Amino acid sequence: MTKSFGGLTAVDDVTVRVPEGQIHGILGPNGAGKTTVLNMVSGFIVPDSGSIQVFGEDLTGAKPFHVAQRGVARTYQNIRLFAGMTVLETVSAGAYAQRSSTILGALALSPSERRERREVRERAAALVEQVGVRADHDALAETLSYGDQRRVEIARALATDPQVLLLDEPTAGMNDAESDQVGQLLLGLREAGLTLILIEHNMRLVEEFCESVTVMNSGAVLAQGAPTWCLEQDDVKEAYFGKRSDAARVATLRRARRSPGGA
């Protein structure tokens, strides 16, 4: 895919292939073009060239709601919750595209409408528990801690019943313990059959939970493959840290943190 904005090429001939049922990370410094890639896959931006294939179906140029109906859900870099809605209401909203009730049925509160509403709420409650939200289900989602708001967003995306889940910095603002919980959640979702693509700056989480990564810089691909191998490449280190000397020190710290006695 390629995408330019004015005279700036944000994504330059980038190819990302993710096998079904895998956790794939997209890495790179700020401004590398990572979120633009997710925006194109989810239909918010149309690529200037290239194509987007999901399980063999061409979704290039499809509207976001069509992409969602084809089984692709996402979360965002900046939290986007509905003001004034409870945790349960927010997650239930994700199931809208899957509902079969009609406007007339909703107005009349037909038996099928009441049954479907009950099933949606039960499913939403189960997802809230699955992602580890500790707050009361009737609490306003916008009043939750930063980490729980992130989890609510993931639960809302899961309510769309996706096959592919796109996550833009899902552990931003979380401590190591909270990040590990999200990592374990990702593993559980993969075991349940989902394909996951995440943008992430938490290298420890990437190395532990991602099976493959694409590293980007200035809109282009620097490296693709196993996380540890990619992060050891000199051009990847320089892209992140600017100087080889800084990169070497940070790489040493990263290896120390992976060791059994690391912090």
Choice between 186 and 105, residue whose per-residue pLDDT is larger: 186
16 pLDDT more than 50: yes
Residue type, 78: N
- Mean pLDDT calculated for residue range 206-227: 94
Choice between 52 and 257, residue whose per-residue pLDDT is larger: 52
Task: Tell me the pLDDT tens digit for each residue of 140-171.
Answer: 999 998 888 989 999 999 999 999 999 999 98
Dist. CA 57–CA 70, nearest whole Å: 9
Choice between 35 and 174, residue whose per-residue pLDDT is larger: 35
Dist. CA 49–CA 52, nearest whole Å: 10
Dist. CA 253–CA 230, nearest whole Å: 16
Task: Tell me the pLDDT tens digit for each residue of 96-146.
Answer: 766 555 555 555 566 666 777 788 899 999 999 999 898 899 999 999 988
Q: Measured in whole angstroms, how far is the alpha carbon of residue 187 from the centre of its chain?
A: 13
- Mean pLDDT calculated for residue range 185-199: 94
Task: Please tell me the predicted confidence (pLDDT) of residue 77.
Answer: 82
Task: Please tell me the predicted confidence (pLDDT) of residue 250.
Answer: 46
Task: Please tell me the predicted confidence (pLDDT) of residue 256.
Answer: 46
Which domains, from first to last, does the chain contain?
A: 1-71+162-263 (3.40.50.300), 82-159 (no CATH)
Assess contact for 47 and 233: CB atoms under 8 A.
Answer: no
Task: Please tell me the predicted confidence (pLDDT) of residue 206.
Answer: 92
Residues in contact with 44: Cβ distance below 8 Å, sequence separation at least 6, in sequence order: 64
Say what the pTM is.
0.83
Q: Which residue has the tokens 């592919």?
A: 164
Cα→Cα distances 237→213, 223, 231, 250, Å: 15, 11, 7, 9
Task: Please tell me the predicted confidence (pLDDT) of residue 235.
Answer: 87
pLDDT-based confidence at residue 245 (cuts at 50, 70, 90): very low
Closest CA to 211 of 235, 230, 193, 192: 230
Residue 11, beta-bridge partner list? 3
SS3 121: helix
